[in-house]
Chain A
Amino acid sequence: MTNHWVDIKNADLVLIMGGNAAEAHPCGFKWVTEAKANNGARLVVVDPRFTRSASVADVYVPIRTGTDIAFLGGLIRYLLENDRIQHEYVANYTDASFIVKEDFAFESGLYSGYDPERRTYDRSSWDYELDENGYVRTDPTFSHPRCVLNLMRRHYSRYTPEMVERICGTPREKFLEVCELVASTATPERAMTIMYALGWTQHSIGSQMIRCGAMLQLLLGNIGVSGGGMNALRGHSNIQGLTDLGLLSDLLPGYLTLPRDHEQRFADYITARTQQPLRPNQMSYWQNYPRFFVSLQKAWWGEAAREDNDWAYDYLPKLDRVYDMLQTYELMYQGRFNGYLAQGFNPLAAAPHKAKLAAALAKLKFLVVMDPLVTETSEFWRNFGEHNDVDPSTIETEVFRLPTTCFAEEDGALVNSGRWLQWHWKGADPPGEAKTDIEIMSRIFRRLRKLYEEEGGAFPDPILNLTWPYANPEHPSPEEIAKEYNGKALADVVDETEPTRIVRRAGEQLSGFGELRADGSTACGCWIYAGCWTEAGNQMARRDNSDPTGIGQTLNWAWSWPANRRVLYNRASCDPSGRPWNPERKLIEWNGTRWVGADTPDYPVDQDPAAGMGPFIMNQEGIARFFGRAALADGPFPEHYEPFETPLGYNPLYPDERRAVSNPAARVFEGDRREFGNAAEFPHVATTYRLTEHFHFWTKHVRLNAIMQPEQFVEIGEELAAELGVAAGDRVRVISNRGWITAVAVVTKRIKSLDIDGRRVHTVGIPIHWGFTGLARPGFLANTLTPFVGDANVQTPEFKSFLVRVEKA
């Protein structure tokens, strides 16, 4: 989230799209209820299904799954055509006036630089034009044909209400009703929040859907303000913490990145990431990358990370490619993995194309499952009748199950969607022989290190030299690890402008990332967490909920990264001179000498606004980008592409361009392409999702949840049900090109069949929660059906749009 849960109560308009907050985040949804009841807010829900969120919405609008960019692009067009944007915000805080390179082009769904063989772009033309000083050229009059605003206007001119209706199936008058509501927040006194979740991420164009939402918010001046923002609702209680700590194959903690193959030299790595300003007097905060990186290396390797060995840069692996979930299972499927540790993860249930996953797991020599529950993954080799019809005698994989504690059986911090690190305390002892994940990993690590000590190896240094300063090396405490993330001074740290002044004594906990140094005098395990456990103690355990300004800014409740800042980009809540756009919901303001207010300023506290530093300090430009430059793999502007399994078979924007039907830059493995289904054989559009009664594949092990929703079902609309002769409660078979499931049919008015470019399209809803282990009635894994393809940038699987055929069972 750019903002946080409580801040949603300040919204005037709540747009839930690509998510179902009431269903999947019922506790956080209370703030939507607050906004409606006490702030007169209106709630708009755009979704293929009339959801639990829609049940309390003022306006519900149907949309075909996977077509959100067409809808959002139509909204952008509406705002530009009708001049319903916040002009001063757009002119000062975005790249609208920046001029783009002359060789940038977009035609028939393809951007300049496309290589159809490799399905990738040469992105060098996707950039601004720079002047002789290396600064970007701009046209504040917006008359240059290649300024971003005009390129954007041209790009989205195709997304007319008629086109939106053709692609999305959304009735025109409904779409225009939403346009008018959204446009009403272009004024400084009104704010819209966008709440989204996996309904946007789980598409082959997921990253661009989210970007498109952010562009809409920028046009309206809704980023950085109270009651506004782009608010990602994280799906697990600590998934925000997972990404913060870099638990993805190409990340390091704090969104630092692992080196690539071509970055064998430290200088190449660090120069590429130490971004210089693209305009005069901009902060470009990533200029501090060396401080974060060196401090991380010091936290990991201590004395072994020295200036003369480039801070142990050679210890880091250099990636030949990103080993995301799909890539990993593809390689496993090819038989190129011997062993696999599934820690708190149930890939047989959670990854697409169950048959492929089962075959991949069967090629392993060993599989270790660390989990509090008996997961389907740990039982993949056992026959459960039609729900898991395998022959155990043909599977040689040796499976080890290591029972772990669950969150309530250990201390620690969970990071919520609003970036708050909230410390929690153990509620009960774990049952049986369960151990914490920390203890299990520590013991495995120490055994491995002993093997390296005794037997050597190709390059044992990173393992042998890893710092392990814990009181009980077999079981580091959560407190010790939290302190390590925060970081400490290894030597006295001095003020950089006043070198005689010591700001932090050696051995002390750091107060924030401002104290980090690139000379090896500080260690910090995750720079954005610096400040969570200072000399003043555990800031995450704070429980003072006083809210002096009444807008939900409880700065003494827990701790939020970065720097206990609750609303990111909050400098943009003020006009260029430093006056709040909306004095009623004031986050910060310039008092003539300092920035003060209800939040930690996202800006240097003594920076006079007259100097013109932009509010988006992490960007080289100091402003926010409509034009994404080369940051994303599939284009600088979001563009609608069909899901890989499309009910149309063409892209209505350019029906004859075969290369741009679906995302031209998405990675597709050869075998998986053959397993995509087509609309002739699989005419129904399917989407998977969660229900309130369950959490993923966990709570079917819990009696109370199993009572609330005991048996697997799929949802179909009344029209499709009539066509199939199916009544509510009948069993149906749902078939994709990768497998089939059977389930009870819930026949509902809440799923409407849509008219898509002249054809009738039926949607099938498939809740994911059942499987062949647990207390609920046994069922099929929903991912038996889903396609093995992901987003072009982050490879999140396309769980939300694929093709099936429904039959009466």
Chain B
Amino acid sequence: MALESQDIVRRSATTTKPPQVRRARTAPVAKLIDTSKCIGCKACQVACMEWNDLRDEIGTCSGVYDNPLDLTEHSWTVMRFAEHENERGDLEWLIRKDGCMHCAEPGCLAACPSPGAIVQYANGIVDFDSEHCIGCGYCITGCPFNIPRLSGVDGKAYKCTLCSDRVAAGREPACVKACPTGALVFGTKEDMLRHAEERVEDLKSRGFENAGIYDPEGVGGTHVMYVLHHRDRPELYNDLPADPKISTLVKVWKGVAKPLGVAGMLLAAFAGFLHYIRVGPNETTDDDEREAARAVGASAVRARRETTDE
């Protein structure tokens, strides 16, 4: 399995072919997050900060275990804790590691107007390149999972890279490396799906009849997947969207609107060209200038100039 390939297959705001057009030999990768094995220890949060050299603020306690409370430019993954009382009256503490899902059809990339600020590699990882980011925040609008965050310092957008640097060197993401219970595993998407199916079977044997794999079709599947005890109710896990899709705005804008816009621009240019052919360049002659001066009045022109000089 060649995980090291980082060939770009998709590039934001770029209509030319990606730098490589040969067929990618890299199998798509995936990180599987098994919520039924996760104990919410936050080792993944720490590993993420350490590997990516990030340090969030030392915050406050707001009455829950979650800390930092939300994703930030420094916290690319956070644990979200939800208390749920099931039909039998038993408590379930549903803990979900939140972060970029690395969609196969990334809404962020589709929405991004800056060439090359967001790329997708052949292995499926969706990466932000801050060199090219213009800080417009369209990626946030484009993301159905509300993941990217703008930095208050450099104004650019940041999110989980799935440790593309580690993966390029044949290693697993830092969070996976640090996970003590095997709740996080990493490999080819095919292998991860197979493993996830075994986990679902185990959960069903423990009474979770609706256990399942979260790999939503609305975004073409994801390269970060969940095993959920309650696949039928993903919203229980701190509002994991049931059917995530790229927002209509982005679709219209970069879908129907984009060719229309391009057509409009071409039409305008074409009209200008036609006008030039038919009418020629729009030049002023000396006669034109004299006529203008007469119309306005030379004294008025002088007076205005004097006022301006003061």
Contacts and interface: CB of A to CB of B under 8 A. Distances in A.
Interface of A: 22-23, 26-27, 29-30, 33-34, 36-37, 40, 50, 52-56, 58, 60, 692-693, 703-713, 727-730, 744-750, 775-777
Nearest to B202: A37
Contact of A710 (B61, B92, B183): B61
Contact of B42 (A29, A60, A693): A693
A29 B60 contact: no
A60 B45 contact: no
A692 B67 contact: no
A707 B93 contact: no
Contacts, number: 119
Interface of B: 36-43, 45-46, 49-50, 55-65, 67-68, 83, 85, 90-93, 95, 180-183, 199, 202, 205-206
Given A707-B55, A749-B83, A775-B58, A727 B63 contact: yes
B41 A22 contact: yes
Given A708-B46, A728-B62, A729-B62, A55 B40 contact: yes
A53 B39 contact: yes
A30 B45 contact: no
A750 B83 contact: yes
A705 B60 CA distance: 13
A37 B180 contact: no
Contacts of B180: 26-27, 29-30
27 contacts: A23-B39, A29-B180, A29-B181, A33-B37, A33-B181, A33-B182, A52-B93, A56-B38, A693-B67, A704-B50, A707-B57, A707-B59, A707-B68, A708-B46, A709-B65, A710-B58, A710-B59, A710-B67, A711-B59, A712-B61, A728-B63, A729-B62, A729-B63, A744-B60, A746-B63, A746-B64, A750-B91
A50 B93 contact: yes
A709 B93 CA distance: 18
Contacts of A33: 37, 181-183
A711 B60 contact: yes
B42 A56 contact: no
Contacts of B55: 703-704, 707
A55 B206 contact: no
Contacts of A50: 91, 93
Given A37-B202, A746-B61, A746-B64, 8 more contacts: A55-B93, A55-B95, A58-B206, A692-B40, A704-B55, A709-B67, A729-B63, A749-B83
Contacts of B50: 704
B113 to A, nearest CB: 34
A760 B45 CA distance: 39
A809 to B, nearest CB: 13
B93 A54 contact: yes
Q: Which of B42, B62, B206 has the most CB of A within 10 A?
A: B42
Contacts of A26: 39, 41, 43, 180-181
A443 B153 CA distance: 51
A8 to B, nearest CB: 12
A22 B40 CA distance: 9
A713 B61 contact: yes
Contacts of A746: 61, 63-65
Contact of B83 (A709, A712, A748): A748
B63 A744 contact: yes
A471 to B, nearest CB: 38
A37 B58 contact: no
A719 to B, nearest CB: 14
B91 A749 contact: yes
Most buried by A among B39, B50, B85, B90: B39
A58 B37 CA distance: 12
A23 B41 CA distance: 7
B41 A692 contact: yes
B46 A704 contact: yes
Nearest to A692: B41
Contacts of B41: 22-23, 26, 52, 692-693
Contacts of A750: 83, 91, 93
Contacts of B205: 40
Given A703-B55, A707-B57, A708-B45, A52 B63 contact: no
A708 B45 CA distance: 8
A457 B41 CA distance: 55
Contacts of A55: 39-40, 92-93, 95
A730 B60 CA distance: 12
Contact of A707 (B36, B63, B67): B67
Which of B41, B45, B55, B57 neighbours the largest number of chain A CB atoms within 10 Å of its CB? B41
B83 A708 contact: no
Contacts of B202: 36-37
A37 B37 contact: yes
Contacts of B62: 728-729, 744
A181 to B, nearest CB: 13
Contact of B39 (A22, A40, A710): A22
Nearest to A727: B63
B48 to A, nearest CB: 10
Nearest to B93: A55
Nearest to B206: A58
Contacts of B57: 707
B198 to A, nearest CB: 8
Contacts of B181: 22, 26, 29-30, 33
A692 B42 CA distance: 8
Contacts of A693: 41-42, 67
Given A26-B41, A29-B181, A749 B85 contact: yes
Contact of B58 (A52, A703, A712): A703
A776 B58 contact: yes
A52 B61 contact: no
B43 to A, nearest CB: 7
A56 B64 contact: no
A748 B82 CA distance: 10
Contacts of B56: 707
Q: Which of A56, A703, A730 has the most C-beta atoms of chain B within 10 angstroms of its own C-beta?
A: A56
Given A26-B181, A708-B67, A60 B91 contact: yes
